[in-house]
Copies of this chain bind each other. A is one copy, B any other.
Amino acid sequence: MASNTHRYRILISYDGTDFFGWQRQPNKTQTIQGLLENCLAQIYNQSIALVASGRTDRGVHALNQWAHFDLPEPLTSDLRYKLNRMTPESIVIKELHEAPKDFHAQISALSKCYKYRILTTPVKNPFLERYTWQPGRPLNVEYLQELAETLLGEHDFSSFQSQGTPVTSPVRKMLVSRWVVKTSGILEYQVKGTGFLKQMVRNMVGTMLKLEQLQAPKQELRDILGARDRTLAAAPAPAQGLFLTSVQYPQALDNKCRKL
């Protein structure tokens, strides 16, 4: 980054249904990063890189995703308004902030929160099809709650890491891991962690529901976690139930940002 550039961060909400995930794809497939970078390139007549807190997979949603970018000149116009006019209605820029140069959407992130929504009613709901997993059966919440507690704390999460994105360490710390009963038959898994491996939340949810269906001893989840073997866990829960809900940054960095 040249020293004379100006850093900004944006808060983005997107319905991931019709996108191939966050990350730009070389073959011009529709992605959120690709689409937004194209808008910035069109506005500034140069390529401007957008760095998010992390990728979201194909079909996964974000209520609050942060990303930063650098401009050669300070902003003089309402860029948030401009971007919202250019993007499809499935992507909304909620906020735009001036950010300090040491703010980095991915590296500065302390933790992230996700929720996974499941509709448990026997009759499906067409209006929630894009935003829930609908297994069509009731779930044993008490059992699931005990499984969720097993995942709390620091662990090697290799058993819940899908292939494809190598990381230096598979150890992550879960600060929140709980099931919450919502209205209208919706059950929500809420998880907060210092970081997440590829498809980790979906793999955890898929495995918890599989164990619940099999009425397996609760110890099995601990065994799967301890084995650090991806082949022992179940298939990932479908993408449409997963939402990135928030990303936490150090208070000192947030304080140095200024909403435009």
Contacts and interface: CB of A to CB of B under 8 A. Distances in A.
A91 B14 CA distance: 24
A219 to B, nearest CB: 36
Contacts of A129: 15, 89-90
Contacts of A124: 84, 89, 92
Interface residues of A, number: 17
A94 interface: yes
21 contacts: A13-B125, A13-B126, A13-B127, A14-B126, A15-B126, A15-B127, A15-B129, A61-B127, A84-B124, A89-B124, A89-B126, A89-B129, A90-B126, A90-B129, A91-B126, A92-B123, A92-B124, A92-B125, A92-B126, A94-B123, A127-B131
Given A61-B127, A92-B123, A127-B131, 18 more contacts: A13-B125, A13-B126, A13-B127, A14-B126, A15-B126, A15-B127, A15-B129, A84-B124, A89-B124, A89-B126, A89-B129, A90-B126, A90-B129, A91-B126, A92-B124, A92-B125, A92-B126, A94-B123
